[in-house]
Amino acid sequence: MYYIESDSVDPRYNLALEQYAFDALSVGRDVFMLWRNKNAIIVGRHQNTVAEINAAFVKEKDISVVRRLSGGGAVYHDLGNVNFTFITKAGDSGVFDFASFCRPVVRALAELGVTAEINGRNDMTIEGRKFSGNAQYHRDGRVLHHGTILYDSDLGVVGEALVVPADKIESKGLASVRSRVANVKEYMREEIPVDRFMAVLRDSMFREFGMERYSLTPEDVAAVQKLRQDVYAAWDWNYGASPAYSMVRERRVEGVGKISVHLEVKRGVIEGIAFFGDYFGAADASSLVQALIGRRRERGELARALENIDLGAYFHNLDKETFLDILAR
């Protein structure tokens, strides 16, 4: 397993580095990365960016907004947050096996006297308070798993920068983002600075996986910089042009996440459709879109259009009847 530690705190560069490691460096070797970003909101691949952020606050505080490869919800990064990434073969346990990648972090925290648990579909918690959100991207039989570790983050900014939809608050019985998140530092036997915490985490991973440090070559850095400029610094990737739709259907589904379906319907026929949300999905939605375009927005016809569609590839854990409820009820 290669170990890569980014010396940059630019979120656009670090997400480009992650993708480059997945595309080019992990073909023959597993990869583990540690990295930090200066103030940024990292948006899930399927999310509608403008609906997830407090735009005025983001502009005032000069917070970067960058879209990542993986699904899931938007998260806030600052220099008090440590990010970790595993890139490896997907294995036989399924694309979205979060626990296997979270357990090494739980074990590392235990060395520091912190008792953490893996909860929900992609969270790690301490005494019921979330300190880590995790997401995955899958392609060509490999998986990129990355997660946050709130160590000494400004939790007040987390609450101001992100928009928490009412349906998420209601479904979880939460008063605010701030009330349900925590910094690991609060639970440490002995407070240490974030760079020392990062070193302890790194050393634990070296002991567990027998890693080998990988130093980026000038050619690697040039390729990462190009990917940064072409993708992660591009407005089209981070925000994207969202066409006007005549109808929006939304549902938060237990074990799936929020799904928002934007529909352009004329004379009962679907002429345009787009999907947003904090769900996880391995497949590109373009083929699903093509299967539904030109169909009447009627449950029976849509069911026939989905007969040979593996819906779980697009929305992990979603069954067809619930999807039809969202589309046509």
287 and 160 in a single domain? The answer is: no
234 and 300 in a single domain? The answer is: no
Give the pLDDT mean for 79-95: 84
Residue type present at position 245: Y
CATH number assigned to the domain comprising residue 281: 3.30.390.50
- In this prediction the pTM is 0.83
Taking 90 as the threshold, does the pLDDT of residue 283 lie above it?
Answer: no
CB atoms < 10 A from the CB of 279, how many? 27
State pLDDT tens for residues 233-277.
999 999 886 556 788 999 999 989 999 999 999 988 999 999 999
Structure tokens at 16: 């480009």
CATH number assigned to the domain comprising residue 42: 3.30.930.10
Side-chain half-sphere of 232: how many Cα atoms within 13 Å? Answer: 26
Percent of the chain with pLDDT over 90: 73
Measured in degrees and rounded to the nearest 5, phi and psi for residue 99 equal -60, -40
State pLDDT tens for residues 160-198.
888 755 544 343 443 334 448 999 999 998 889 999 999
State pLDDT tens for residues 147-157.
999 999 999 89
Q: List for the chain the helix, strand, coil content (%; round to 5).
A: 35, 25, 35
Range of the domain at 269: 247-328
Alpha helices in the chain (DSSP H): 11-20, 49-52, 55-60, 99-111, 155-161, 166-172, 177-180, 194-209, 218-227, 235-238, 286-292, 299-305, 320-328
202 and 120 in a single domain? The answer is: yes
156 and 273 in a single domain? The answer is: no
Structure tokens at 264: 């352009």
Last residue in a domain, options 219, 238, 257: 238
Confidence at residue 243, expressed as pLDDT on a 0 to 100 scale: 59
* Average model confidence (pLDDT) across the chain: 90
222 and 251 in a single domain? The answer is: no
- The rounded distance, in Å, linking the Cα atoms of 108 and 32 is 14
Confidence at residue 97, expressed as pLDDT on a 0 to 100 scale: 83
